[in-house]
Structure 1
Amino acid sequence: MQRAEVILSLLGRKAESDENFIFRRLYRNLFNPDFYLNAWARIQERLEQKPSGLPNCSMDRMKPDWEQVIRQMKAGTYHPKPLFKKQERCDEDFAFRDRLILEILRQILEAIYEPHFLETSHGFRPQRNHLTALHTIRTSCQGTNWVIKGEIKDILHRMDSQLLISLLARRIDDGRFLDLLNRFIRAGYLKSGGISTDVPASFRREDIRFLLVNIYLHELDRFMKNRSLSTMDARTPMNYLRYAGRFLICISGGKVLAQSIRNDIQTFLQSTLHLDLTGDDIRITHLAKKGVRFLGYEIRSEKPIPRQSPSDCGKRSAFGNIQLLVPGEVIRQKIRPFIKKGRPVHINSRIHLSLPDLIHRYHEEMRELYNFYCLAEDVSAKLGKFRYYHYWSLVRTIARKEKSSVKKVLDKYGTDIKGIQGTGTKKRIGVKIQAGDGKEKVITYFHAPLKKRVHPNPVFPPPC
């Protein structure tokens, strides 16, 4: 039998070359042992990123079960174990087998659908994240005055499973393949748990539920593409983008047009995708008067650009540039655990950690926060304030752990760090450890400059 990677590559190339191609005989790939090996390898990669919540089973112990699963697949008798609530246990082989088969289904569906997802879709896709969506807003939505923000809350529970299967049937003519996926849906795997933000984005992307969300809402993306090309909107710039169940539409036009677009979206979602959205789910905002929260950022418009000459008299001033900002309340909330009475404070719950783990944890918190808000105009000011309290909380936690003073901790663990430009040094708390390759390295607190990035970087730098 062919290797799984070869088959997936062929499926992807066929999907890319012919968007109307109908895929048949996909189910037979479940008879190929290499698909199980390939799926297991991908799960192992994720185990290294997020050890909890996934089965911790050895490959040798699972190999005999693959043959049994393949026999059941050929006979059409495989049924996933029902999930009536969020289940993250991995004690039972059957639960693990289900995850393995779901990974195979995900890989096949991604090969077929990823080539045809539109550029306006950013959530849970390769080389795309919230930063690529926000970068698009900043570069493509200049001069925006009206913004329509929508959120399909609890999208996993609100999707019509029968409609989802019928949407898949447009591209997949394989009853056994669709029936297997439908068995997982009926068993509760589509609605088990929520979209967690506590795991890496790459980990969440490799979850079949979020791929199915993108397939379902691809219909909305297509509708909005046609809407933006309509005669009514041709005279008025309109930019639409979506991140999973959240979407944003930036308009350089009047409120009447914004209301018309909102009504059209509500009608389409209700009639075509069976999703009812109220006024609270889709809101219209005048950007010059009020900012909009989207994907964790605050989107605002600069002050309108004044008229340049007396000849412009009677013309409306152009709207200002889009600004991406760090919401003030987010930073206040982030600082709260590390401050007391206006001063940095130690964290008792972290004293038990080893010194390398303690420094690494603080480092990762700061690094992840910066990577999330690196496109913001005020990232230096807002995160600089957080870093001050956060860093000195680390120093005080070490002092409390070692029953020492802050000064002694600084004298003992202060490490000279070279500047980013190669000039000068600054002291940061650091500790030497032995790496896996036998070489010695120093773990320090996050010391990179908090500068605004002009371009997104979907692949974040590795931790120290």
Structure 2
Amino acid sequence: MNKPQDSKEESVSLRDKLVLNESDQRCVNAYKLISQRDTLQAAYWILKSKPGMMVKGSDDETLDGIDMDWFKSTEDLLNKEVYQPKPTRRVYIPKANGKTRPLGIASPRDRIIQQAIKMVLEAKLDPIYSDKSHGFRPNKGCHTALREIRDWKGVAWFIEGDIKAFFDCIDHRILEKLLMRHFQDSRLINLYWKIVKAGYVEWDTNKMKYIASDIGVPQGGIISPLLSNLILNELDVYIEGIRKEYEEKNRGIKDKLSNPVYRKQSNQLVHLRKKLNKCQRNTTRYEEVKGQIKQILKIQNKTGSMVPNPLAYPTIKYVRYADDWLIGVWGKKSTAVKLKEQIKEFLESLKLTLSSPPAGMQGVKEKTLITNARSQEAKFLGTRIKRVASNKHMILTKSITTGRTRRIPSGNIRMSIPLKGIIKRLEDKKFFVMEKGKWKMKSIPKFTILPMKDIIRRYRSIYNGFFNYYRFADNIGGMMKVYWILKESLRKTLSRKFGVGKRELYGKYGKDLGINYSNSKGETQSINFSIPKPKKDPMNFAIQLIPRDPLYAGIWKVRTISSLGTICASCGSEEVEMHHLKHIRTLNVKLGKFDQMVAKINRKQVPLCRECHMKVHKGEYQGLSLKHLKVNKRPDTNK
């Protein structure tokens, strides 16, 4: 099959295909679009290269063996409304606080259908979502959310929002009502119920246990972020209504007034300067008046020319990424407290709950915080946010009408990398250990089986993952500590691989630990662990950045290829399906960590016809080793 358009073009194409009811603009053909073979194939192309697609769901089914017939049969199942999604497999991954987060892993083939659903629903829903929502949306991400906050100059209070067990507590009936607000399509609603009621399985005392799902959506599921945005868009609309209400009340009211203290100081300066002009230079009186002027100027430099208008209503700003949100309040703390209570009550109408300590429990940190922007740091999307001291950052403005200069506190926003947290994570991953209060660098044994260029590439991936995310930070220079830890660990890893000491290693590969190598085309390329010194650039945000864990991606990411649309690598037949190689999996032994890594490195997809594929699985294949088979494209019969 031919590769479809890219995801952006596909979204526009699907949007053009949506048929809307003239009376209420609800979509009436979403299910029809989802079930079309072209949509399913486009979904496959989006997902095929993602490492997670090799992870099994609740059964042993993978993408191994997928072919054109599968798309046809799946289209038929959907059209007849007999498709039934399998339960997800629930796993628990560790969180930074020592707790675990449940993830629902769907069958790889169910994920293709979920991706098709996501594409169609997103084409209808995304244009109506609030521009304050940045999570899991086209052309938005963590950086676009943080970029908005950078402009929150002068903010007085932050409300850090956290919803208790959000994905596990989403009410199915409320989601159904919201879907029906935008889609007049009973088949789509029936499919929705099949997915949310599929349940999940997990291990319990060495046996698999099925658990029905009466509430919530699987965290980690493909359509879960879309459904979460659908329900939290209600919160976006609610907060925007409060913001507009305050804005309307403030019409015609100045938010700042002239500071009487500053005005009095200015009058004193005018009076003293007149006196100074009448005094003879180099006299005691002259120096005395001059000293008084300097003293008042020193005090005035720390005084703003404007103060908040007590009659003005508060101003609020809001930004959200998935179920994490932050509100800025220009006003009194009482406004922030009232707003938090309003949001709490509204979320309860959606059957959601703000995170807070259980009644009567002390010493438990509350997650939904009201933070003083001037004296405390708010935490949002892994970034520490604070308003810097205003008397150190004053803005000089000149009135067009009077020509007078005024000093206005800027209250710039400072965004910082949580360096201690990053360094602690490197310690947890054994890049170094603490011995007698000192850092001792360690090698990563699992990396030693890789070629040197791949070892360097993995260390660079870890550093670049952190640097690219925090490149806007005001303390970006602190990344040099991270670089030093990684470089010393790299040096230890290479020394262990080659069995040489520090001096010999640097003597052979230089201070940047670099090598030249030939790529697949025979071209000479080079790689090392040298990086430019980080430079402060507070506005260095990416348009779209998908958050990922650099330590996870740098260590475990393995690439695969897709061969749909090619011919059988063994006999040349055009009727092909994919055989997903996992080297040494045929050994009837439990794989150790070393062998597991070798299997991941050597994983590959080979197109085979059904006959050749079955021979491989039955052990009857007698041809060239599969890893040496060449992938050939299907001849173009249109030429």
Q: Could you say which TM-score interval applies, normalised by the shorter chain?
A: 0.7 to 0.9
Structure 2 partner of 1:277: 354
In structure 1, how many angstroms separate the alpha carbons of the residues matched to 2:453 and 2:440?
24
Partner of residue 327 from structure 1, selected from 418, 422, 442: 418
In structure 1, how many angstroms separate the alpha carbons of the residues matched to 2:23 and 2:325?
25
Aligned residue type for 2:334? V
Bigger CA drift: 449-458 or 286-295? 449-458
Q: Does the 8 Å CA contact 2:162/2:355 hold for their aligned counterparts? A: no
- Compute the RMSD of aligned alpha carbons: 3.3
In structure 1, how many angstroms separate the alpha carbons of the residues matched to 2:455 and 2:521?
22
Q: Which deviations, in whole Å up to 9, do the C-alpha atoms of 1:406-448 show, x marking residues without a partner?
A: 121112122xxxxxxxxxxxx5112223223332211222513
Trace 1:7-406 onto structure 2 (pairs within 5 A).
8-9=11-12, 11-12=14-15, 21-47=25-51, 52-53=54-55, 57=63, 61-83=66-88, 85-86=90-91, 95-139=107-151, 141-188=152-199, 194-195=219-220, 207-231=222-246, 234=250, 235-271=313-349, 273-279=350-356, 280-305=366-391, 318=409, 320-336=411-427, 337-340=430-433, 341-380=438-477, 382-406=478-502
Larger radius of gyration: 2
In structure 1, how many angstroms separate the alpha carbons of the residues matched to 2:82 and 2:444?
53
CA distance 1:8–1:388, shift in 2 (3 Å):
closer
CA distance 1:368–1:10, shift in 2 (3 Å):
closer
Deviation at 1:291, TM superposition (A): 1.0
In structure 2, how many angstroms separate the alpha carbons of the residues matched to 1:392 and 1:4?
45
Aligned residue type for 1:178? I
Deviation at 1:295, TM superposition (A): 0.9
Aligned residue type for 1:226? G
Structure 1 partner of 2:569: none
CA distance 1:338–1:217, shift in 2 (3 Å):
same
In structure 2, how many angstroms separate the alpha carbons of the residues matched to 1:257 and 1:367?
41
Given the two structures, how large is their TM-score scaled by the length of structure 1?
A: 0.82
Aligned residue type for 1:322? I
Deviation at 1:210, TM superposition (A): 0.8
Bigger CA drift: 64-73 or 285-294? 64-73
Deviation at 1:239, TM superposition (A): 0.9
Q: Does the 8 Å CA contact 1:85/1:192 hold for their aligned counterparts? A: no
Q: Match of 1:300, SS?
A: strand
Q: Could you list the runs of 5+ residues in structure 1 that have no partner in the other structure?
A: 196-203, 310-315, 415-426
Aligned residue type for 1:43? L
Partner of residue 455 from structure 1, selected from 537, 540, 565: 540
Structure 1 partner of 2:522: 438
CA distance 1:19–1:378, shift in 2 (3 Å):
farther
Bigger CA drift: 317-326 or 360-369? 317-326
Deviation at 1:302, TM superposition (A): 1.0
CA distance 1:460–1:77, shift in 2 (3 Å):
closer
Deviation at 1:317, TM superposition (A): 8.5
Q: Which deviations, in whole Å up to 9, do the C-alpha atoms of 1:89-111 show, x marking residues without a partner?
A: 89xxxx34322211110100111
Q: Which deviations, in whole Å up to 9, do the C-alpha atoms of 1:69-120 show, x marking residues without a partner?
A: 2222222221111236348889xxxx34322211110100111111122211
In structure 2, how many angstroms separate the alpha carbons of the residues matched to 1:178 and 1:192?
15
User: How high is the sequence identity, in percent, across the aligned residues?
Assistant: 25
Q: Which deviations, in whole Å up to 9, do the C-alpha atoms of 1:317-366 show, x marking residues without a partner?
A: 84721100112421331442333433433333433332122111111010
CA distance 1:377–1:75, shift in 2 (3 Å):
same
In structure 2, how many angstroms separate the alpha carbons of the residues matched to 1:361 and 1:89?
26
In structure 2, how many angstroms separate the alpha carbons of the residues matched to 1:16 and 1:65?
28
Name the structure where helix makes up a greater proportion of residues.
Answer: 1
Deviation at 1:16, TM superposition (A): 13
How many residue pairs are counted as aligned between the two chains?
424
Q: Does the 8 Å CA contact 1:269/1:276 hold for their aligned counterparts? A: yes
In structure 1, how many angstroms separate the alpha carbons of the residues matched to 2:242 and 2:540?
29
Q: Match of 1:251, SS?
A: strand
In structure 1, how many angstroms separate the alpha carbons of the residues matched to 2:322 and 2:472?
20
In structure 2, how many angstroms separate the alpha carbons of the residues matched to 1:305 and 1:263?
32
Structure 2 partner of 1:412: 508
In structure 1, how many angstroms separate the alpha carbons of the residues matched to 2:68 and 2:112?
12
Q: Which deviations, in whole Å up to 9, do the C-alpha atoms of 1:365-403 show, x marking residues without a partner?
A: 1000101211110011x2111211211211121112211
In structure 2, how many angstroms separate the alpha carbons of the residues matched to 1:322 and 1:396?
40
In structure 2, how many angstroms separate the alpha carbons of the residues matched to 1:254 and 1:45?
51
Q: Which deviations, in whole Å up to 9, do the C-alpha atoms of 1:140-185 show, x marking residues without a partner?
A: x110111101112432111111111110110100000111122011
Q: Does the 8 Å CA contact 2:136/2:225 hold for their aligned counterparts? A: yes
In structure 2, how many angstroms separate the alpha carbons of the residues matched to 1:135 and 1:163?
32
Q: Does the 8 Å CA contact 2:388/2:412 hold for their aligned counterparts? A: yes
Deviation at 1:269, TM superposition (A): 0.6
Structure 1 partner of 2:561: none
CA distance 1:19–1:342, shift in 2 (3 Å):
farther
Q: Which deviations, in whole Å up to 9, do the C-alpha atoms of 1:32-62 show, x marking residues without a partner?
A: 2212221111112435xx564377525x743
Q: Does the 8 Å CA contact 1:14/1:21 hold for their aligned counterparts? A: no
CA distance 1:400–1:97, shift in 2 (3 Å):
closer
Bigger CA drift: 427-436 or 12-21? 12-21
CA distance 1:78–1:331, shift in 2 (3 Å):
closer
